Amino acid sequence: MESRLSIWALGLLFFTLVVADGNNSNSTSNGSRNCKFPAIFNFGDSHSDTGSSSATFNFLQAPNGMSFRNYSKRSSDGRLIIDYIAENLGLPYLDAPVDSIGTNFKHGANFATGGARISSDVIMGKTTPYHLGVQVSQFLQFKSRAIALHKELLNNKNNPPIENKFPEPEVFSKALYTIDIGGNDDFNNHTISTTMDQFTNTLQRLLGDGAKYFWIHNTGPNGCGPFGHINCKKEPGCVLDQNGCDKKWDENSQAYNKLLKDRVSRLRAQYPDAVITYVDIYSAKHKLIVNAKKYGFGDPFKFCCGNGYLCGQVDFNETLLGTACKDPQNYINWDGIHYTQAANRFVANFVVNGSLSDPPVPVAEACHKQY
Protein backbone atom coordinates (compact mmCIF):
# COMPACT_ATOMS: atom_id res chain seq x y z
CA MET A 1 0.00 0.00 0.00
CA GLU A 2 2.81 2.37 0.94
CA SER A 3 4.61 1.69 -2.35
CA ARG A 4 1.42 2.34 -4.31
CA LEU A 5 0.97 5.68 -2.56
CA SER A 6 4.58 6.56 -3.30
CA ILE A 7 4.12 5.78 -6.98
CA TRP A 8 0.88 7.77 -7.03
CA ALA A 9 2.59 10.70 -5.28
CA LEU A 10 5.50 10.63 -7.72
CA GLY A 11 3.05 10.56 -10.61
CA LEU A 12 1.14 13.51 -9.21
CA LEU A 13 4.40 15.42 -8.69
CA PHE A 14 5.48 14.67 -12.26
CA PHE A 15 2.09 15.82 -13.59
CA THR A 16 2.28 19.00 -11.50
CA LEU A 17 5.77 19.80 -12.74
CA VAL A 18 4.78 19.22 -16.37
CA VAL A 19 1.73 21.48 -16.06
CA ALA A 20 3.74 24.11 -14.22
CA ASP A 21 6.45 23.95 -16.85
CA GLY A 22 3.83 24.26 -19.59
CA ASN A 23 2.27 27.25 -17.88
CA ASN A 24 5.67 28.87 -17.42
CA SER A 25 6.44 28.24 -21.06
CA ASN A 26 3.23 29.93 -22.11
CA SER A 27 3.92 32.76 -19.71
CA THR A 28 7.23 33.38 -21.41
CA SER A 29 6.15 33.05 -25.02
CA ASN A 30 2.40 33.41 -25.32
CA GLY A 31 1.44 34.68 -21.88
CA SER A 32 3.88 37.57 -21.85
CA ARG A 33 3.15 37.96 -25.58
CA ASN A 34 6.50 39.53 -26.34
CA CYS A 35 6.25 41.01 -29.83
CA LYS A 36 9.96 40.60 -30.57
CA PHE A 37 10.08 43.80 -32.59
CA PRO A 38 13.00 43.49 -35.03
CA ALA A 39 13.57 47.25 -35.22
CA ILE A 40 12.58 50.69 -33.96
CA PHE A 41 12.08 53.77 -36.10
CA ASN A 42 12.00 56.89 -33.96
CA PHE A 43 10.83 60.43 -34.73
CA GLY A 44 11.09 63.42 -32.43
CA ASP A 45 13.14 66.29 -31.02
CA SER A 46 16.20 66.57 -28.77
CA HIS A 47 14.60 64.46 -26.03
CA SER A 48 15.14 61.41 -28.27
CA ASP A 49 17.84 62.64 -30.68
CA THR A 50 20.78 60.19 -30.66
CA GLY A 51 22.95 61.82 -33.29
CA SER A 52 21.07 63.75 -35.97
CA SER A 53 21.53 67.25 -34.57
CA SER A 54 25.12 66.55 -33.52
CA ALA A 55 26.02 65.35 -37.03
CA THR A 56 24.10 68.07 -38.85
CA PHE A 57 24.65 71.22 -36.81
CA ASN A 58 26.96 71.41 -33.77
CA PHE A 59 28.76 68.37 -32.42
CA LEU A 60 27.70 67.82 -28.81
CA GLN A 61 30.98 67.79 -26.95
CA ALA A 62 31.82 66.71 -23.41
CA PRO A 63 30.55 66.80 -20.74
CA ASN A 64 27.54 65.44 -22.67
CA GLY A 65 27.71 61.69 -22.21
CA MET A 66 29.88 61.86 -19.09
CA SER A 67 27.81 59.21 -17.29
CA PHE A 68 27.63 56.61 -20.04
CA ARG A 69 30.36 55.69 -22.51
CA ASN A 70 30.80 59.34 -23.53
CA TYR A 71 27.74 59.20 -25.76
CA SER A 72 28.16 62.88 -26.64
CA LYS A 73 25.60 62.72 -29.45
CA ARG A 74 22.83 63.12 -26.86
CA SER A 75 21.68 66.20 -24.96
CA SER A 76 22.26 64.54 -21.61
CA ASP A 77 24.97 63.10 -19.42
CA GLY A 78 23.90 59.64 -20.60
CA ARG A 79 21.05 57.60 -21.96
CA LEU A 80 17.69 58.90 -23.15
CA ILE A 81 14.25 57.29 -22.83
CA ILE A 82 14.56 55.90 -26.36
CA ASP A 83 17.79 54.16 -25.31
CA TYR A 84 15.98 52.45 -22.43
CA ILE A 85 13.19 51.40 -24.80
CA ALA A 86 15.78 49.82 -27.10
CA GLU A 87 17.39 48.05 -24.13
CA ASN A 88 14.01 46.73 -22.99
CA LEU A 89 13.33 45.29 -26.44
CA GLY A 90 16.80 43.76 -26.65
CA LEU A 91 17.80 45.98 -29.57
CA PRO A 92 20.94 48.09 -30.16
CA TYR A 93 20.88 51.83 -29.57
CA LEU A 94 19.56 53.72 -32.59
CA ASP A 95 21.79 55.65 -34.99
CA ALA A 96 20.76 58.70 -37.00
CA PRO A 97 20.78 58.24 -40.80
CA VAL A 98 22.61 61.56 -41.27
CA ASP A 99 25.41 60.26 -39.02
CA SER A 100 27.31 58.13 -41.52
CA ILE A 101 30.37 57.14 -39.47
CA GLY A 102 30.27 53.76 -37.74
CA THR A 103 26.51 53.43 -37.98
CA ASN A 104 24.36 50.37 -38.51
CA PHE A 105 20.66 50.38 -39.31
CA LYS A 106 19.81 46.66 -39.27
CA HIS A 107 17.58 47.18 -36.24
CA GLY A 108 16.15 50.60 -37.04
CA ALA A 109 17.05 54.26 -37.28
CA ASN A 110 16.47 57.48 -35.39
CA PHE A 111 15.21 60.52 -37.32
CA ALA A 112 14.68 62.72 -34.24
CA THR A 113 16.51 66.04 -34.42
CA GLY A 114 17.12 68.65 -31.74
CA GLY A 115 14.85 71.68 -32.06
CA ALA A 116 12.34 69.82 -34.25
CA ARG A 117 8.67 70.70 -34.14
CA ILE A 118 5.50 69.10 -35.40
CA SER A 119 4.61 72.31 -37.18
CA SER A 120 6.16 73.21 -40.53
CA ASP A 121 4.88 76.78 -40.21
CA VAL A 122 7.19 79.75 -40.09
CA ILE A 123 7.12 81.21 -36.57
CA MET A 124 8.87 84.50 -35.78
CA GLY A 125 10.58 84.36 -39.15
CA LYS A 126 12.00 80.88 -38.56
CA THR A 127 11.11 77.30 -39.30
CA THR A 128 12.72 74.00 -38.32
CA PRO A 129 14.64 72.18 -41.10
CA TYR A 130 13.81 68.76 -39.66
CA HIS A 131 10.22 69.12 -38.53
CA LEU A 132 8.15 65.94 -38.20
CA GLY A 133 7.01 65.98 -41.82
CA VAL A 134 10.62 66.13 -43.05
CA GLN A 135 11.62 63.32 -40.71
CA VAL A 136 8.91 61.10 -42.17
CA SER A 137 10.06 62.02 -45.69
CA GLN A 138 13.59 61.02 -44.67
CA PHE A 139 12.25 57.70 -43.42
CA LEU A 140 10.35 57.00 -46.63
CA GLN A 141 13.53 57.68 -48.63
CA PHE A 142 15.48 55.47 -46.22
CA LYS A 143 12.99 52.64 -46.61
CA SER A 144 12.89 52.92 -50.39
CA ARG A 145 16.67 52.82 -50.70
CA ALA A 146 17.03 49.98 -48.19
CA ILE A 147 14.61 47.84 -50.22
CA ALA A 148 16.36 48.78 -53.46
CA LEU A 149 19.74 47.84 -52.00
CA HIS A 150 18.36 44.51 -50.82
CA LYS A 151 17.13 43.70 -54.34
CA GLU A 152 20.45 44.78 -55.86
CA LEU A 153 22.41 42.52 -53.53
CA LEU A 154 20.12 39.59 -54.37
CA ASN A 155 20.69 40.16 -58.08
CA ASN A 156 24.47 40.31 -57.74
CA LYS A 157 25.24 37.07 -55.96
CA ASN A 158 28.40 36.45 -57.98
CA ASN A 159 30.03 39.70 -56.92
CA PRO A 160 32.10 39.91 -53.71
CA PRO A 161 29.65 40.02 -50.78
CA ILE A 162 28.81 43.42 -49.36
CA GLU A 163 27.67 43.74 -45.77
CA ASN A 164 24.13 45.09 -45.76
CA LYS A 165 23.71 47.39 -42.76
CA PHE A 166 20.10 48.19 -43.59
CA PRO A 167 16.87 46.45 -42.55
CA GLU A 168 15.46 43.61 -44.58
CA PRO A 169 12.27 44.62 -46.46
CA GLU A 170 9.96 42.62 -44.15
CA VAL A 171 11.30 44.46 -41.08
CA PHE A 172 9.46 47.69 -41.87
CA SER A 173 5.99 46.19 -41.35
CA LYS A 174 7.03 44.45 -38.12
CA ALA A 175 8.93 47.33 -36.52
CA LEU A 176 7.85 49.63 -33.69
CA TYR A 177 7.39 53.29 -34.67
CA THR A 178 8.04 55.61 -31.72
CA ILE A 179 7.19 59.31 -31.74
CA ASP A 180 8.30 61.81 -29.08
CA ILE A 181 7.74 65.40 -30.20
CA GLY A 182 5.76 68.53 -29.35
CA GLY A 183 7.86 70.32 -26.76
CA ASN A 184 9.17 72.89 -29.24
CA ASP A 185 5.81 73.78 -30.77
CA ASP A 186 4.23 77.09 -29.84
CA PHE A 187 0.89 75.95 -28.45
CA ASN A 188 -1.93 78.43 -27.97
CA ASN A 189 -5.61 78.60 -28.83
CA HIS A 190 -4.84 79.64 -32.41
CA THR A 191 -2.16 77.10 -33.34
CA ILE A 192 -2.81 73.93 -31.36
CA SER A 193 -5.57 72.60 -33.61
CA THR A 194 -3.54 73.34 -36.77
CA THR A 195 -0.50 71.66 -35.25
CA MET A 196 -2.52 68.57 -34.47
CA ASP A 197 -3.84 68.48 -38.03
CA GLN A 198 -0.24 68.41 -39.25
CA PHE A 199 0.59 65.67 -36.75
CA THR A 200 -2.36 63.56 -37.92
CA ASN A 201 -1.54 64.05 -41.61
CA THR A 202 2.08 63.06 -41.02
CA LEU A 203 1.13 59.88 -39.16
CA GLN A 204 -1.25 58.99 -41.96
CA ARG A 205 1.70 58.99 -44.34
CA LEU A 206 3.37 56.32 -42.22
CA LEU A 207 0.16 54.34 -41.80
CA GLY A 208 -0.51 54.52 -45.52
CA ASP A 209 2.99 53.24 -46.22
CA GLY A 210 2.50 50.10 -44.13
CA ALA A 211 3.65 51.08 -40.63
CA LYS A 212 1.50 49.20 -38.18
CA TYR A 213 2.75 49.47 -34.59
CA PHE A 214 2.98 52.91 -32.98
CA TRP A 215 4.19 54.08 -29.56
CA ILE A 216 3.29 57.77 -29.22
CA HIS A 217 4.54 59.91 -26.32
CA ASN A 218 2.65 63.00 -25.28
CA THR A 219 4.62 66.12 -24.36
CA GLY A 220 6.14 66.65 -20.93
CA PRO A 221 5.48 69.52 -18.48
CA ASN A 222 7.76 72.00 -20.21
CA GLY A 223 6.77 74.81 -17.88
CA CYS A 224 8.02 72.76 -14.93
CA GLY A 225 11.66 72.63 -15.95
CA PRO A 226 14.38 75.10 -14.90
CA PHE A 227 14.07 77.02 -18.17
CA GLY A 228 10.32 77.58 -17.70
CA HIS A 229 10.61 78.25 -13.96
CA ILE A 230 13.50 80.72 -14.18
CA ASN A 231 12.18 82.63 -17.19
CA CYS A 232 8.68 82.91 -15.72
CA LYS A 233 10.13 84.62 -12.65
CA LYS A 234 11.68 87.23 -14.95
CA GLU A 235 8.61 87.90 -17.11
CA PRO A 236 6.00 90.41 -15.93
CA GLY A 237 2.58 88.80 -15.59
CA CYS A 238 3.92 85.25 -15.68
CA VAL A 239 2.39 83.07 -12.96
CA LEU A 240 4.01 80.10 -11.22
CA ASP A 241 1.66 77.40 -9.92
CA GLN A 242 1.97 75.70 -6.52
CA ASN A 243 4.68 73.41 -7.92
CA GLY A 244 6.80 76.22 -9.33
CA CYS A 245 5.73 75.61 -12.93
CA ASP A 246 4.96 78.27 -15.51
CA LYS A 247 1.18 77.95 -15.21
CA LYS A 248 0.21 79.03 -18.74
CA TRP A 249 2.92 76.98 -20.43
CA ASP A 250 1.96 73.93 -18.43
CA GLU A 251 -1.73 74.39 -19.22
CA ASN A 252 -0.87 74.60 -22.92
CA SER A 253 1.02 71.31 -22.66
CA GLN A 254 -2.00 69.67 -21.02
CA ALA A 255 -4.33 71.04 -23.70
CA TYR A 256 -2.08 69.63 -26.40
CA ASN A 257 -1.96 66.23 -24.71
CA LYS A 258 -5.75 66.10 -24.42
CA LEU A 259 -6.12 66.82 -28.12
CA LEU A 260 -3.36 64.35 -29.01
CA LYS A 261 -5.15 61.57 -27.16
CA ASP A 262 -8.34 62.38 -29.04
CA ARG A 263 -6.51 62.26 -32.39
CA VAL A 264 -5.00 58.90 -31.47
CA SER A 265 -8.51 57.56 -30.83
CA ARG A 266 -9.64 58.79 -34.24
CA LEU A 267 -6.65 57.20 -35.97
CA ARG A 268 -7.42 53.89 -34.25
CA ALA A 269 -10.93 53.97 -35.68
CA GLN A 270 -9.69 54.98 -39.12
CA TYR A 271 -6.93 52.32 -39.25
CA PRO A 272 -8.32 49.22 -37.49
CA ASP A 273 -5.38 47.05 -38.58
CA ALA A 274 -2.89 49.31 -36.82
CA VAL A 275 -2.02 49.17 -33.10
CA ILE A 276 -1.50 52.65 -31.65
CA THR A 277 -0.44 53.14 -28.03
CA TYR A 278 -0.64 56.53 -26.32
CA VAL A 279 2.00 57.07 -23.61
CA ASP A 280 1.55 59.63 -20.83
CA ILE A 281 5.09 60.98 -20.51
CA TYR A 282 3.66 64.13 -18.92
CA SER A 283 2.46 62.31 -15.81
CA ALA A 284 5.76 60.48 -15.28
CA LYS A 285 7.85 63.64 -15.58
CA HIS A 286 5.46 65.75 -13.54
CA LYS A 287 5.42 63.11 -10.80
CA LEU A 288 9.21 63.13 -10.70
CA ILE A 289 9.50 66.93 -10.59
CA VAL A 290 6.95 67.60 -7.85
CA ASN A 291 8.31 64.71 -5.74
CA ALA A 292 12.00 65.23 -6.47
CA LYS A 293 13.29 64.82 -2.92
CA LYS A 294 11.10 61.76 -2.32
CA TYR A 295 12.83 60.01 -5.22
CA GLY A 296 16.33 61.00 -4.15
CA PHE A 297 16.89 64.06 -6.32
CA GLY A 298 17.74 67.64 -5.38
CA ASP A 299 16.04 70.90 -6.33
CA PRO A 300 14.16 70.18 -9.60
CA PHE A 301 14.79 73.73 -10.82
CA LYS A 302 18.56 73.45 -10.67
CA PHE A 303 20.50 72.05 -13.60
CA CYS A 304 23.85 70.29 -13.83
CA CYS A 305 25.53 71.81 -16.87
CA GLY A 306 25.66 74.90 -19.09
CA ASN A 307 23.68 78.12 -18.96
CA GLY A 308 20.08 76.95 -18.69
CA TYR A 309 19.51 75.73 -22.24
CA LEU A 310 22.89 74.67 -23.65
CA CYS A 311 25.70 72.39 -22.51
CA GLY A 312 28.77 71.22 -24.42
CA GLN A 313 28.18 73.78 -27.15
CA VAL A 314 29.53 77.21 -27.99
CA ASP A 315 27.22 80.07 -27.07
CA PHE A 316 26.70 83.38 -28.88
CA ASN A 317 29.86 84.77 -27.26
CA GLU A 318 31.95 81.87 -28.62
CA THR A 319 32.27 80.48 -25.09
CA LEU A 320 32.20 76.70 -24.61
CA LEU A 321 29.53 75.83 -22.10
CA GLY A 322 31.34 72.81 -20.77
CA THR A 323 31.30 72.98 -16.99
CA ALA A 324 29.17 70.31 -15.35
CA CYS A 325 28.38 69.20 -11.83
CA LYS A 326 30.17 66.16 -10.44
CA ASP A 327 27.00 64.36 -9.40
CA PRO A 328 24.47 64.43 -12.28
CA GLN A 329 22.73 61.40 -10.77
CA ASN A 330 21.36 63.76 -8.11
CA TYR A 331 19.84 66.14 -10.66
CA ILE A 332 16.63 65.81 -12.63
CA ASN A 333 17.69 68.36 -15.19
CA TRP A 334 20.87 68.30 -17.21
CA ASP A 335 21.08 71.70 -18.90
CA GLY A 336 17.87 73.57 -18.08
CA ILE A 337 15.73 71.80 -20.70
CA HIS A 338 16.87 68.19 -21.06
CA TYR A 339 16.89 65.46 -18.45
CA THR A 340 19.78 63.61 -16.84
CA GLN A 341 20.30 59.92 -17.38
CA ALA A 342 19.02 59.26 -13.84
CA ALA A 343 15.79 61.14 -14.55
CA ASN A 344 15.38 59.49 -17.94
CA ARG A 345 15.78 56.09 -16.29
CA PHE A 346 13.07 56.97 -13.75
CA VAL A 347 10.63 58.02 -16.47
CA ALA A 348 11.58 55.11 -18.74
CA ASN A 349 10.58 52.61 -16.06
CA PHE A 350 6.98 53.86 -16.32
CA VAL A 351 7.21 53.94 -20.10
CA VAL A 352 8.42 50.40 -20.74
CA ASN A 353 6.17 48.72 -18.15
CA GLY A 354 3.04 50.28 -19.65
CA SER A 355 1.64 51.65 -16.39
CA LEU A 356 1.08 55.07 -17.95
CA SER A 357 0.06 53.87 -21.39
CA ASP A 358 -3.36 53.78 -23.02
CA PRO A 359 -4.03 50.91 -23.19
CA PRO A 360 -1.82 49.86 -20.22
CA VAL A 361 0.47 47.59 -22.18
CA PRO A 362 4.27 47.15 -21.84
CA VAL A 363 6.28 48.32 -24.81
CA ALA A 364 7.39 44.73 -25.52
CA GLU A 365 3.73 43.79 -26.06
CA ALA A 366 2.70 46.84 -28.10
CA CYS A 367 1.85 44.76 -31.18
CA HIS A 368 -1.26 43.35 -29.48
CA LYS A 369 -4.43 45.39 -29.72
CA GLN A 370 -6.13 45.83 -26.34
CA TYR A 371 -8.71 48.47 -27.10
Cα–Cα distance measured from residue 331 to residue 66, given in angstroms and rounded to the nearest whole number: 14
Distance separating alpha carbons of residues 84 and 40, to the nearest angstrom = 12
The strand order across the sheet containing 176-180 reads 108-110, 40-44, 176-180, 213-217, 275-279, 357-358
Which of helix, strand or coil describes residue 312? coil
Residues acting as catalytic residues:
46, 335, 338
Q: How far apart are CA 189 and CA 146, in angstroms?
A: 41
CA distance linking residue 335 with residue 75, whole number of Å: 8
Helix axes 192-208, 132-154, angle to 10 degrees: 10
> Which sign does the torsion angle of CA 362, 37, 210, 48 carry?
positive
